[in-house]
Structure 1
Amino acid sequence: MSTDDVYALMARSQELPYGEAKTVLVEDALRRAEATGDDVLAFHVRVRLTDAYRYGGEPVKAFATFSRSLADHDRDPGRYDETHGLLWQMKAIVSSLTLFPEIPLDKTYTVLDDMERRYKAGGHSLQAVYHYRNVVARHVGDGSADEWYAKWRAAERDELSDCEGCDPTGMARHLVEAGRHEEAFEIAAPVLNATLTCNEQPQSIQTAMLPVYLRTGRAEQAADAHRRAYRVHRARLADLSDVAEHLEFCAITGNEARGLEIVQRHLGWLDRAPSVHAEMEFCAAAALVLGRIAAAGHGEATVRRPAADGRPAADVPLPDLRTELAERATELAGRFDARNETSHQGDKVRAVLEAEPAAEFVPLAAHHRRPAQAPAPPRPVADEDGDLAAEDDLDTLLDIADQRRTRRDMPRTLAAWRRFDVLAETAEPTPLQKARRLDGKGVEHAVADEREAAAECWEETYRLFSELGDETRRHRALGRLGAMHARLGDPRGLDEMIAAAGHFTSNPTGEGDATGSLLRLATAYVELDRPADALATLDRVDPDDDPDSAGELWFLRGQALLMSADADGAVAALRRSADAARASDDPEQAAPPVLLLARTLARLPSGPDDEVITLIDEGLAALSGPSPMRAAAHSERGLALLALERPADAAADLAEAIAGWTAEGLHEQAIHLRVDLAAAYLSAGRHLEAAETAEEALAGLTAPGDGEAERRCRLILAHAQKELGEEDAAASFTSLAQDAAREGRHDAVAHFLNEAADVLTSLDLDGQAAERYAEAAEAYEKAGDPYGVVRTRRRRAMSLLWTGDADAAVTVADAARTALAGLPPDNEPARVWETALVSYDQARILAQVGRLPEAASAASAAVDGFTALDETAPAEEAARLRDDITAAMER
């Protein structure tokens, strides 16, 4: 074994986040360090292993490594000199000791006393000591917590105090437990928007503030803190306790579905919980979520429990799992209370299991909220018929109902029928009156979308009018019956409507029956995708028979022309329909033609324009409340604004549309629209919302025809993750590259691998970046892109340099220079630019390996290249590099 192996392993571990993979590397490094016999090297690796255990979710293992490191230091402080690091780790050891009920509480107090002694001996402030005495006091429910908090606040901070994010986090947690929420907000406010670089921040303070926000009326801030913090916690086993807090938040804010997703995602972590206390907290919070879901009527659901320790994966009934988790939390709390000789942990668990909603539904994103209720447009008051309560004539009431039988006047129509029904209890209606009233009952069923019941009424109505010899009413009933049969898929429907239309065109009534029957038939043809028959039927309409139907006639013609691929004719027809609707006394009639016209114009080759937005604005203003049409209008306006490169405006409409579709139970439309919303958020620079929305959409894009939308969504997610600085972005781009490789799209493979490498470079994961750049260079070669080959080889060389492998960097830089020969000769500026970049980076690499004359020559070439292109800033930077190398040569 050599020390070089140890340093190499430690260097590799630095590129990994805290977790099992990093811990395994550091453990291997420790074994190798011990094998070399270099005790000092082993000591320093062991100190780093303590951090790996703590942040990687195995704090119980940190006790042994910390104790050994502290003992080595105490035996020979001069040789094992890492005093500051050990005193810093001591804080976490104190906190961790409370998390395992099998560790006597006296042990914790002993370490606390030793910590205080060491801090005093080193001349340090006792601020951190008071902090952790407060932590222990709060854990056991000791009233001295307030005293320690006061001393903690009053003591001077020093280099051993927790960071500027963690210190206020601990204070906020104390104040929350004391019910002092406004004070907690004041403590945390100064750092909430600060840039915090600690491994535990800002997610820890955001999590601690959840109850503060909820109980001080800051619901939107609570939702934002949940989304931002949980996004970090969800990847860290060590944060299981924090995940439990987010579960409780979801349960008490009406977000049980989100809570169930979190339970499902982390349930397997219980088998390797970082501590007994974290296991207890997760079990209690998960049980609360499951209880809420059962209370909402979903107790028959199951939860997938992953396989572990020889136990196969299985679907567990929700009530059974809820009971199991609640009992486990209670049993663990009992163990803590027995150790602590208080009831505090049990009280906390019971409070979680019995927690009541802290607020009404708190939407976690704009599209999660309920759709907005638009104010109803003013309606004309129809009072010319007088007071229906004073009307005693049955025929008059039926006439009023027939006259008012429109969507706009349905309340008055129903009122007339209700009055008729009251009178009919004492006055026997005539057979004709009974038939007319039965006809009305069919209308009532149709309005309620009770189709079979409506058809039954009209079948009986048709028979009664036939017996009475009333041909006009008989054929009116036949037309309505035919339309309902058509909607029910009954083939008789079309023939019935044709017969009714034929009767009224041959026997006009002067009351618009011919027009009504033809429009009804044309509507059926449109719904059956028979535009030619619809247009032929509309051609039979006499415009003088019912002038008030002009808007509907032109609307149907516009629909049929669209189906016939006659966009120009459709636009003209829809414009006439909109004009006719605007002239009517019912503003809502304008909504369908106006919105369809907007949709049609938006899909012309020229794309949407300002007129499209104006038309949708008009259509939305005409609608009186949530409906599928309103959701469609917001969808259309959002997509139009997105196409017009107004993503911030588009996001508001798309969010409203998703809320509307969801409220209507039309989840497929909502799922696909989430992809567009994610795109809008990404373009608007709202990267967290883009990532969250894209992940929601991906969960639902599982249908066979969703492939293209799914790929687009993954690309949006990858870019959002990149902008958020998340390492997952590299994996997302790599996955997209793998898909492109299966399809033989080498240019896309190269692009995505290059994106992945750039992400890794930005995160200082240079070894991994070098691998991705190498793969990207190969893909660029296959794609026939010589510029891509040069760029990725050059960037790979620099990545290798930053990993410390300068020799490999020299080789790859030479390969980048060789690739310059492949650049096309017809673009001299591009050739000069790429050559100058290669020369500049090659100079940096050669200088690192001591080949200074060659490095100086390469730097001079870079200066010449940048200067030739009038690139002043790069030329000056290259000149400084050349001068530094020359100075080094002269020393």
Structure 2
Amino acid sequence: MSRTEQELQELYRSTHGMPAGPAKFAALEEVIRHADALGLVEFAFGVRMSATSVFQHSWVPSRAFLTFSWCLAAYDREPERFAGHHEHTLLWQFKWMVYSVQQFPDVPLGRTLDLLDDMERRYRRGGHSMHAVLQHRGLVAESLGDLEQAQDFYEQMALTRRDGLSDCSGCVPSSQVRTLVALGRDEEAIRIGEPARRSGCTEQPQWINSELLLPYVRTGLGEQAAEAHRSAYRRIRDNPHHLGELASNVLFCVYSGNLGRGLDLVERHLSWLDRARTPFAEMEFAAAAAAVLSAVEAGGEGASTLRFPAVEGRRRPDARVADLAAELRARALSVAARFDTRNGNTYQSTRMREWMNAGPIGEPTPLSVFERGLQDRGGEKVRRLVDRVAALTAAGDLAGAARTRVAAAEALLADERNAEAAEAAEEAVRELDRLGLAGEAAVCRWLLARAHREDGEWRRAAAALGELLDSQDPQTASPALPPRPELEARLGEWLGHGPEAAARYLSAARGFAAAGRDADRLSALAQALRRHPWGGTGPASDTLAGLLGETGSVLDDLLGEAADGGPAVAEEADTDTVAELLLQYARHLRSAGRHREAADRLLTARTLLERRPPAETEGALNAVLTELGEVHLRLGDPAAAEEAARAALDVLDDPGDAWEEILVLVRALKARGADQEAAELLSAHGLDETDLDDEED
């Protein structure tokens, strides 16, 4: 299906608020495909530049190679067309390409070196510093095992001025620390790296904290290492983009004597290997996980069973520690062998074997919230529970210890120690899962979600609640949990806006319908429509199609004809809720080009609301009338649009800031030739013609 330029602009704008994932990737690629078909070169260039950033900072950097290469070729053909800001962005993105391409062993080494040479030529031609070039030459040398050359580039970079194309104050030290650690210069690595822990770019401070783990451990700075690990993991735990940093944190669990924590991380994140951002990250995570599993196996627990959480409704089968260790060892060495073949040495295979044979370094470093002195702070109840966890664990009563962890988390949440409550609940969930206590684990996940929410961690709260819903059988839900539709609606609220939030509200609406809770069903449908972006492709459009179909059917059932010939609402429904549902439904119909249907629904909503006292319906009626004016414009009826816009203004107590209604009215006036009145209205409200352009679609 072809799209107009305006539709592409709308679809592109809709991607800005979408979370990174398949739906956003597909939407961007659809915009690019149609922009190319329409010959919109500059628009396609801008979308590709944006997509390069999205892909690079997600787990699909290989897609960025294509968008970047297209933009670079377009720039080289017509540099005058894309000079200025685009030129600077292209040079900045060169660094991303060099950093990523070396992490794919099937890309010949010569291509990486050629890309580096091209980057240097372009930087020199533009009069830019060689600081970033030297940084990335050093990273490539370090990945090849040429540590002498890596050191040389490190020292040259230290003497080279920074400029606007240099990485930030966190990322430069991160790459420097990586080189220094490989050289065994731990004290210098700490001195260079620690100031960067306060950096706040998108890759920091999780990258620098992860790079500092090994030098901290090797120099006996266990407390600093533990804090760096906790800080890093809080930032990387929800995004597969950070698989490489996660590998360092998993390996740290071996160094610090925290194999239980390491097992938790392997169980929680093993699914990320299925979408590893690069083969290099895949290799490192597989090796780090194998190191944990091998250490557990060496301790006599190779027959222990690992249970993995559900991810997007699917769950990996349980596995024995020994079997998974063998699988991941083979996987890591297989990828390392591909790097060695490309690089012409055995550096990566040797390095991965060292990782997988790793053991504790120095004294154990406690990471569990129950080992870090909780009993020294807070109330007597928390102290008693923490002591009981230790006693039950020592006695071998793991189920009792897990249940007491839940009680401690509840007590911490009641004391408003929300971050600690979340950490305690996480530990409890992992133990309950491992023990196969599914019902109690589900209740604890609800506790975890609430703790994250109270701590202001909306995304983590949503992730915990989503995990609960995806793993819980609706037929066997625990009576200690709220009804499933309420949980679905809560998750939709926490997710904010987007297809996933809408899908959760739609699921809640269906659950409410099955339970006979009709008013809640209508509210959930209205929220689903409100939160779903207009248009879209793939799974998002499937969700929207189902939502629109169900809403239309519900509205047909609810609305009848009153004695006076106007619409009537079924007794069990609230008029305001039905009007809101009609409004949201009409907005999606308008977006889909179904303007006549949208107008019919809006007229029904208007009639329902106008029967109510004006003081009770001002905001709702204003929104319906303004939308109705927009729809009449698209139907080519400016007189009806003008009437609706004036009516929208009339219902407001203070129309002074009603710029949207004014713009609809002005466009209606201009459409019927009343240009002078339209101009006066714009001027009176401090608006101009550019505001009109922004409103048109």
Q: Give the letter for the 1:26 counterpart.
A: L
CA contact (8 A) 2:173 2:193 kept: yes
RMSD in angstroms over aligned alpha carbons?
5.1
- For 1:118, give the aligned amino acid: R
Question: Alignment partner of 1:360: what SS?
Answer: coil
**1:291-311 deviations in Å (ceiling 9; x for gaps):** 21122112334668999xxxx
Is the alpha carbon distance of 1:304 and 1:706 closer, same or farther for their aligned partners in structure 2, counting shifts above 3 Å? closer
1:170 equivalent in structure 2? 175
SS at 1:300 equivalent = coil
2:359 is the alignment partner of 1:356: yes
In structure 2, how many angstroms separate the alpha carbons of the residues matched to 1:140 and 1:889?
60
**How much does 1:76 deviate?**
1.3
Structure 1 residues 123 and 316 mapped into 2: Cα distance closer, same or farther (>3 Å)?
same
Residue 12 (structure 1) shift? 4.5
CA distance in 2, matches of 1:306, 1:759: 21
Deviations 1:812-850 (A, max 9, x none): 999999999999x9xxxxx98x87876898899899999
Report the residue type matching 2:424 in the other structure: T
Mapped pair 1:207 → 2:210: yes
Residues 409 and 424, structure 2, Cα contact 8 Å, conserved in 1: yes
Q: Which residue of 2 aligns with 1:399?
A: none
Residue 773 of structure 1, CA deviation: 6.8
Contact 1:793/1:816 (8 A) holds in 2: no
Give the Cα separation in 1 of the matches to 2:607 and 2:113: 67
Say which SS state the counterpart of residue 366 (structure 1) adopts: coil
**2:459 match:** 727
Q: How does 1:219-298 map to 2 (within 5 A)?
A: 219-267=222-270, 269-270=272-273, 272-298=275-301
Which residue is equivalent to 1:513?
Answer: none
* Change in 2 beyond 3 A, CA 1:846/1:135: farther
Alignment map for 1:271-670 (pairs within 5 Å): 272-301=275-304, 318-319=321-322, 321-323=324-326, 325-368=328-371, 650-670=381-401
Map Cα deviations across residues 860-888 of structure 1 (whole Å, 9 max, x no partner). 35999xxxxxxxxxxxxxxxxxx999624
- Whether 1:672 and 2:397 are equivalent positions in the alignment is no
Q: Deviations over 1:86-112 (max 9, x none)?
A: 222211111122223333323222211
CA contact (8 A) 1:773 1:795 kept: yes
Residue matched to 2:115: 111
Shift of 1:789: 8.2
User: Which residue of 689, 698, 714 maps to 2:446?
Assistant: 714
TM-aligned CA deviation for residue 278 of structure 1: 2.3
8 Å Cα contact 1:202/1:229 also seen in 2: yes
Any conservation in 2 of the 1:233–1:243 contact (CA below 8 Å)? yes
CA distance in 1, matches of 2:16, 2:687: 34
- Cross-structure match for 1:140: 144
Q: Residue type of the partner of 2:291?
A: L
Report the counterpart of residue 494 of structure 2 in structure 1.
759
Task: For residue 205 of structure 1, report the CA deviation from its aligned partner.
Answer: 2.6
Q: 1:184 aligns with which of 189, 194, 197?
A: 189
Deviation at 1:74, TM superposition (A): 0.9
**Number of the residue aligned with 1:887:** 685
Q: Distance in 2 between matches of 1:155 and 1:847?
A: 61
Q: What's the offset of the Cα at 1:131?
A: 1.6
> Which amino acid letter does the alignment assign opposite residue 59 of structure 1?
P
Task: Name the amino acid aligned to 1:145.
Answer: A
Q: Which amino acid aligns with 1:860?
A: D
Identity, % of aligned positions: 35
Per-residue CA deviation, residues 619-674 of structure 1 (Å, 9 max, x unaligned), is xxxxxxxxxxxxxxx8xxx9xxxxxxx96665454333322321221222221222
Counterpart in the other structure of 1:32: 34
Please report how far the alpha carbon of residue 244 of structure 1 lies from its aligned counterpart in structure 2 after TM superposition: 2.0
C-alpha distance in 2 between matches for 1:331 and 1:749? 44
Structure 2 letter corresponding to 1:113: D
The letter for the 2-side match of 1:72 is A
2:587 corresponds in structure 1 to: 808
Residue 66 of structure 2 corresponds to: 64
Residue 755 of structure 1, CA deviation = 3.9
From the CA coordinates, give the structure whose radius of gyration is larger: 1
2:192 and 2:167 map into 1 onto residues whose CA distance is 15
Alpha-carbon deviations, 1:741-792, whole Å to 9, x = none? 979999967865564344333xxx3565567678879969976889x98999
Distance 2:239 2:654 in 1: 48
Alpha-carbon distance between aligned partners in 2 of 1:728 and 1:814, rounded to the nearest angstrom: 42
Larger relative contact order, structure 1 or 2 (CA cutoff 8 Å, min sep 6): 2
Distance in structure 1 (CA, Å) of the matches to 2:365 and 2:346: 32
CA contact (8 A) 1:730 1:756 kept: yes
Q: Decide whether aligned partners of structure 1 residues 22 and 740 sit closer, same or farther in structure 2, where only a CA change above 3 A counts.
A: same
Shift of 1:71: 0.7
1:860 alignment partner, SS class: coil
Q: TM-score, normalised by structure 1?
A: 0.55
Q: Secondary structure at the match of 2:653?
A: helix
For structure 2, which runs of at least 5 residues remain unmatched after alignment? 537-583, 591-597, 632-641, 658-680, 690-697
Q: Please list the CA deviations of residues 126-153 of structure 1 after superposition, one character each: whole Å capped at 9, or x if unmatched.
A: 3222221221122123313233223434
Q: Which runs of 5+ in 1 are unaligned?
A: 373-633, 639-645, 826-830, 865-882
- The answer to whether structure 1 residue 696 and structure 2 residue 475 are counterparts is no
Q: 1:249, 1:297 → 2: CA distance?
A: 21
**Mean alpha-carbon deviation: is it higher for 179-188 or for 63-72?**
179-188
The TM-score, its normalising length taken from structure 2, stands at: 0.68
CA shift in 2, pair 1:316/1:706, >3 Å: closer
Q: Which residue matches 1:503? A: none
Shift of 1:728: 5.1
Partner of 2:102: 98
Task: Give, in whole Å, the separation in 2 of the partners of 1:746 and 1:316.
Answer: 29
What amino acid sits opposite 2:30 in the alignment?
Answer: D
Using a 3 Å threshold, how does the CA distance of structure 1 residues 705 and 112 change in structure 2: closer, same or farther? Answer: closer
**Change in CA separation of 1:860 and 1:736 when aligned onto 2, cut-off 3 Å:** farther
1:210–1:225 contact (8 Å) kept in structure 2:
yes
Q: Is the 8 A contact 2:290 2:326 kept in 1?
A: yes
Relative distance call for 1:704 and 1:59 in structure 2 (3 A) is closer
The Cα shift of 1:79 comes to: 3.6
CA contact (8 A) 2:36 2:44 kept: yes
CA gap 1:655/1:746 in 2 versus in 1, 3 angstroms: closer
- Hey, what's the Cα distance between the residues in 2 that align with 1:33 and 1:757? 33
Deviations 1:446-465 (A, max 9, x none): xxxxxxxxxxxxxxxxxxxx
Measured after TM superposition, the shift of residue 221 of structure 1 is 4.0
Code of the aligned partner of 2:443 = R
Counterpart residue number, 1:860: 653
For residue 509 of structure 1, what is the aligned residue in structure 2? none
Number of aligned residue pairs: 583
The question of whether the paired residues in 2 share the 8 Å contact of 1:101 and 1:335 is answered with yes
Q: In the alignment, which residue of structure 2 is the partner of 1:542? A: none
1:361 partner letter: P
Change over 3 Å in CA distance of 1:58–1:304 after alignment to 2: same
Query: How far apart are 1:121 and its partner, in Å?
Result: 2.8
| Residue in structure 2 matched with residue 10 of structure 1 by the alignment | 12
The whole-number CA distance in structure 1 between the counterparts of 2:133 and 2:345 is: 23
CA gap of 1:664–1:360, structure 2 versus 1, over 3 A, is farther
Secondary structure at the residue paired with 2:257? Answer: coil
Taking the aligned partners of 2:306 and 2:432, their CA distance within structure 1 comes to 21
Q: 1:836 to 1:187 in 2, by over 3 A?
A: farther
Over 3 Å counting, the alpha-carbon distance change for 1:113 and 1:663 in structure 2 is same
Question: Who is 1:392 aligned against?
Answer: none
Among 147, 150, 155, the residue aligned to 2:155: 150
Note if contact 1:839-1:861 (Cα within 8 Å) is conserved in structure 2. Answer: no
Deviations 1:558-598 (A, max 9, x none): xxxxxxxxxxxxxxxxxxxxxxxxxxxxxxxxxxxxxxxxx
